[in-house]
Amino acid sequence: MQTIEIKPVEYEHPQDGASCTARAWARTPAPLTAEQRSSLKARIKQLLKEKQAVLVSHYYVDADLQDLAEETGGCVSDSLEMARFGRDHSAKTLIVAGVRFMGETAKILSPEKRILMPDLDATCSLDLGCPADEFTAFCDAHPDRTVVVYANTSAAVKARADWMVTSSIGLDIVAHLHAQGKKILWAPDKHLGSYIQKKTGADMLLWQGSCLVHDEFKGVELELLKAQYPEAKILVHPESPANVVALADVVGSTTQIIDAAVNLPADTFIVATDNGILHKMRAAAPGKRFIEAPTAGNSATCKSCAHCPWMAMNGLQNLVDLLENMDNSSANEIHVDPAIGQKAVTSITRMLDFAAAKKARVQASADLAQEGKLFDGIGPA
Ligand code: SF4
């Protein structure tokens, strides 16, 4: 497997105010009382109705924003389903509670819709670590490769790609391209790229980006935790380092590991992904126990801070502010250069079409199996 050396991105760079994690944490909404939360949630429900807007939330955002999305006819999901849901929904205004690339993806897929986010500075270390100009030069240097990029990238990077993928479908798409004899240029997550390369055997050239949350999970500490809970199943998102993935019972996207928590015959799970997911896991699998995978060694004061500072910038109060001001202000609106959007939509649509075809195949084989059962034991008259 080939890799390319890319200079690390300094997330805490003092001049990079908007993207600095310290600044993101400083802008994280303050904790609210139960009364405040209840009052803000009621106001948001009323405003969403009045403004005819729909809320689409990621599994990593504040639990109240996840609940609100579901309670108001929106959606809480992974980035693949968020993109599909937003595109197919009839609402003219989408409120995306997540990070910026999710809002941009929604805008690219639905340029006629208004896309708003509670805080436009909510970004992602993978997006920051893959600047479009450097990435374009990288692609230009390898014209023989099919360019596959993860969803966690800017619109300009997606515009340069042949395919965009999410963690729930990336493995299938690379396997499909590998079967066609294609060589892959992959960006930006090195851990996910490496995992897919190992599983598919594809020829992949990897950009060296990482998620600052998943990169912190520690294999040695995870082994120690597993020794304390030998009966626990380990669920890991593939943005995690290889020695963490190696310990997993299930490796998958957020939706896939929630499904595993529901379906596996176990009562205890150790979860290596952003801890925002635990809200949905507990709701989907009540009575089961979920333990956060460790993110630091024994000497550290914080053993698990597995939460994305940019996802944490989404809150009830800034959502209310957005909804109250949206008629007179475009401060929270996502814009994508139409020329870039027109190019980027091709790579995203390819993935959505591939996912829809896969879903249809799975459904057809389930129907066939069901038919087989119906006719079990029925022979010629
Ligand atoms: S959790 Fe990681 S991949 Fe997800 S938005 Fe945050 S930094 Fe990006």
pLDDT, tens digit, 9 for 90 and up, residues 140-157: 999 999 999 999 999 999
More confident call, 3 vs 60 = 60
**Cα 125 to ligand 1 centre (Å):** 6
Ligand 1 site-directed mutation target among 117, 311, 313, most atoms within 8 Å of CB: 311
In angstroms, what CA-CA distances link 154 with 44, 150, 250, 318, 330? 29, 10, 29, 23, 20
Pocket lining: 308 vs ligand 1, CB cutoff 6 Å: yes
Question: Which of 278, 300, 325 lies at the terminal end of a domain, its last residue?
Answer: 325
Token pair, residue 130, equals 């893959």
- 96 and 30: one domain? yes
Token pair, residue 198, equals 């190992």
- Annotated binding-site residue numbers: 58, 79, 124, 150-152, 167, 211, 237-239, 254, 308
Helices (runs of H) and strands (runs of E) counted in the chain: 16, 13
Pocket lining: 24 vs ligand 1, CB cutoff 6 Å: no
The position carrying tokens 């109240």 is 64
Judged on CB neighbours under 10 Å (0-12, 13-18, 19+), 273 is buried
Mention every residue, 6+ apart, whose C-beta is less than 8 A from residue 299: none
Confidence class of residue 252 from pLDDT cuts 50, 70 and 90? very high
DSSP 3-state of 298: coil
The position carrying tokens 């959502």 is 319
- 29 and 115: one domain? yes
- 101 and 250: one domain? no
Token pair, residue 100, equals 């910026």
pTM, whole model, 2 decimals? 0.91
| In the predicted structure, residue 128 carries a pLDDT above the cut 70 | yes
- 64 and 203: one domain? no
Work out which ligand 1 atom sits closest to the CA atom of 211.
2
* Average pLDDT of the chain to the nearest whole number: 91
Q: What percentage of the chain reaches a pLDDT higher than 90?
A: 82
The alpha carbon of 295 is separated from its chain's Cα centroid by a whole number of angstroms, namely 19
In angstroms, what CA-CA distances link 118 with 84, 155, 317? 20, 19, 9
Which tens digit of pLDDT belongs to each residue from 229-242? 999 999 999 999 99
In a domain, 305, yes or no: no
Confidence class of residue 20 from pLDDT cuts 50, 70 and 90? confident
- 278 and 218: one domain? yes
Instruction: Give the closest residue to 132 by CA, choosing from 154, 102, 107.
Output: 154
**Cα 211 to ligand 1 centre (Å):** 5
In a domain, 117, yes or no: yes
**One-letter amino acid of 50:** E
Which tens digit of pLDDT belongs to each residue from 50-101? 999 999 999 999 999 999 999 999 999 988 889 899 999 999 999 999 999 9
- 218 and 174: one domain? no
**Cα 213 to ligand 1 centre (Å):** 6
- 233 and 137: one domain? no
Closest residue by Cα to atom 2, ligand 1, is: 211
Calculate the dihedral angle through the C-alpha atoms of 137, 125, 197, 61, rounding to the nearest 10 degrees: -140
| In the predicted structure, residue 6 carries a pLDDT above the cut 80 | no
Under a CB-based contact definition with an 8 Å cutoff, are residues 164 and 347 in contact?
yes
Closest residue by Cα to atom 8, ligand 1, is: 124
| HSE toward the beta carbon, residue 61, CA cutoff 13 A | 32
d(CA 231, CA 247): 14
d(CA 190, CA 238): 10
Pocket lining: 124 vs ligand 1, CB cutoff 6 Å: yes
Greatest Cα pair distance, the chain, in angstroms, is: 81
Q: What is the CATH number of the domain that holds 162?
A: 3.40.50.10800
- 223 and 147: one domain? no
- 170 and 205: one domain? yes
Q: What's the confidence (pLDDT) of residue 302? A: 56
In a domain, 335, yes or no: no
In a domain, 369, yes or no: no
**Cα 124 to ligand 1 centre (Å):** 5
Domain that holds residue 218: 214-292
- 204 and 219: one domain? no
- 70 and 91: one domain? yes
Confidence class of residue 375 from pLDDT cuts 50, 70 and 90? very low
The position carrying tokens 């990077």 is 157
Closest residue by Cα to atom 3, ligand 1, is: 211
Pocket lining: 130 vs ligand 1, CB cutoff 6 Å: no
Domain count, the chain: 3
In a domain, 236, yes or no: yes
Which tens digit of pLDDT belongs to each residue from 169-218? 999 999 999 999 999 999 999 999 999 999 999 999 999 999 999 999 99
- 219 and 157: one domain? no
Closest residue by Cα to atom 1, ligand 1, is: 308
Q: What's the confidence (pLDDT) of residue 23? A: 85
Closest residue by Cα to atom 5, ligand 1, is: 124
Pocket lining: 6 vs ligand 1, CB cutoff 6 Å: no
